[in-house]
Amino acid sequence: MSDTLTNKAASFNDIQTKDIKHHFSPFSNNKELAEHGSRVINKAHGVYIYDDNGNKLLDAMAGLWCVNIGYGRQELVDVATKQMKELPYYNLFFKTTHAPAAKLAEKIASLAPTHMNKVFFTGSGSEANDTIFRMVRRFWDLKGQPTKKQFISRKNAYHGSTVVGASLGGMGYMHEQGDLPIEGISHIDQPYYFKEGGDDTQEAFGIKAAQSLETKILEIGENNIAAFIAEPFQGAGGVIVPPASYWPEIKRILAKYDILLVVDEVISGFGRTGEWFASQYYDLKPDLMPIAKGLSSGYLPIGGVIVGDRVAHTLIEKGGDFNHGFTYSGHPVAAAVALKNIELLESEGVIERVKNDTSPYLQKRWQELAAHPIVGETRGLGMVAGLELVKNKDTKERIAPDAKAGGICRDFSMANGLIMRPCGDTMIISPPLVITKAEIDELVEKAVKTLDETAKYFNLL
């Protein structure tokens, strides 16, 4: 994209060379990567990661929205070591269980909304959504309503990258590769006020976006719809925070029809909003919640589905065998690390601190960026935030075609030692929950410098 900033061609080190030759990188243009080489990250501590050129980067994305507890926690290393020595692996299929899975399930149920008491473990968020797809259809079969099969999701949603995950997601650039979405999934409008709000007030737009759910329900027929799935706020779509009117209207519509609610908590779970789950922040009553990412703070791969009593009761009382599971469902080492991660978040008061202290501070400082000449909007909640890059604040005209400004801004940000992620022309952050106020100041200072440089690059300053 911006060759001038990243091109270090012809000076690849050993790891970069191996990577170019043999590693097929996810969500990447592998041909371009082969020209420029990937940045090699080799250590991390707190909210910082380090590359093998000795650059220190403030990781304002917490990896991929997951390192909630921050990097370098010895307690997690110790618990993994101990668990590996005792029982590195056993499965949960054949009338067996183990302490890490049982204890973690109990802990998660104690933190989840009170009507959610069972946890099914997976290896990732995508697998959690695949699991939900099967659980929900099985649920309606058992209820004697087998026509209720279809899922309603939203445009620009992200629910993972497996066939079901990508189909539930609303990303056009994913759908166009591999003939997705699969049948039985449709996508309604997203509550993206900056882009689609037009002349409406936030309030009116939120209601309108929510009502596209009712329109779709009436079109497909209540008797054909199994569930509505949504992120509480969209993450990968660009930190899209719905207007305050949105969720109450969705709740009103869902209460009218017999349709399950799946709240995708893969990003928002484990403290991101200042509550354990965003379902508590927004007072939602989900039937199912996929989780992953912050569950283990990314230290080991683990995900799951928190199952509400209504669905669990039917599947368990009437369902017989549930013919679904993964070799690594509830992996003992991953589960032990996840449990310790949650215990640390609890015992160190991380989530209360986010709620009462650091997230109000982050949001206040982030809002200051709205005054910058190339920022059309700032938004956020808890420990996530986004801003829109524009040339003209009034018309919202973008700086350059094809979201070029977002890529340039990311490159300047990296050069300034700050990891911000572009989603088109939206720059987003989701820092570790342990970030301090001093580190938030550093983040904002680096973001301002980055915005200045981006503006100058396009002759806008």
Ligand X SMILES: *Cc1c(COP(=O)(O)O)cnc(C)c1O
Interaction site with ligand X (CB under 6 A) = 124-126, 158-160, 231, 235-236, 264, 266-267, 292, 303
Picking from 203, 209, 104, 225, the residue whose alpha carbon sits closest to that of residue 155 is: 209
Tokens (6 digits) for 259? 């349709």
Q: Could you give the CA distance from residue 47 to residue 200 in angstroms, rounded to a whole number?
A: 39
Count of beta carbons in the 10 Å neighbourhood of residue 373? 13
Q: Which residue shows structure tokens 């499965």? A: 91
- Min dist. Cβ of residue 364 to ligand X (A): 26
Q: Which CB sits closer to ligand X, 374 or 384?
A: 384
The C-alpha atoms of residue 282 and residue 367 are separated, in whole angstroms, by 22
Whichever of 267 and 311 has its CB closer to ligand X, that residue is 267
d(CA 304, CA 86): 23
The residue among 122 and 378 lying less far from ligand X, judged by its C-beta, is: 122
Sign of CA dihedral 418, 28, 300, 87: negative
CA distance 94 to 110: 26
- Shortest separation between residue 169's beta carbon and ligand X, angstroms: 8
User: Of 172, 55, 148, 137, whose CA–CA distance to 319 is shortest?
Assistant: 137
Q: Which residue is nearest to ligand X (CB)?
A: 125
Residue 235 CB, shortest distance to ligand X, in Å, is 5
3-class DSSP assignment, residue 40: coil
Please state the closest distance from residue 124 (CB atom) to ligand X, in A: 3
Nearer of residues 158 and 270 to ligand X, judged by Cβ:
158
Peptide bond just before 181 cis, omega within 30 deg: yes
Measured from the CB of residue 93, what is the shortest distance to ligand X in angstroms?
Answer: 21
- In this complex, which beta carbon is closest to ligand X, that of residue 231 or of residue 453? 231
The SS3 of residue 7 is coil
- Cβ 164 to ligand X, closest distance in Å? 11
Of 16 and 297, CB closest to ligand X: 297
In the chain, the amino acid numbered 73 is R
Q: Specify the residue, 152 or 405, whose C-beta has the smaller distance to ligand X.
A: 152
- Between 280 and 416, name the residue whose CB sits nearer to ligand X: 280
What contacts 198, CB < 8 A, 6 or more positions away? 205
Q: Which amino acid is at 253?
A: I
Nearest Cα residue to 330 out of 68, 167, 106, 20: 106
Nearest distance, CB of residue 161 and ligand X, angstroms: 6
Q: Which is nearer to ligand X, 105 or 239 (CB)?
A: 239
Minimal distance, residue 383 CB to ligand X, in Å: 14
* CB of residue 276 to ligand X, shortest distance in Å: 16
> Residue 37 or 232: which CB sits closer to ligand X?
232
Report in angstroms how near the CB of residue 165 gets to ligand X at its nearest.
6
Which tokens belong to 205?
């737009």
N- to C-terminal Cα separation, the chain? 22
Q: H/E/C letters for each residue in 261-312?
A: EEECCCCCCCCCCCCCCHHHHCCCCCCEEEECHHHCCCCCCCEEEEEEHHHH
DSSP annotation of 215 reads H
To which residue do tokens 């091109």 refer? 7
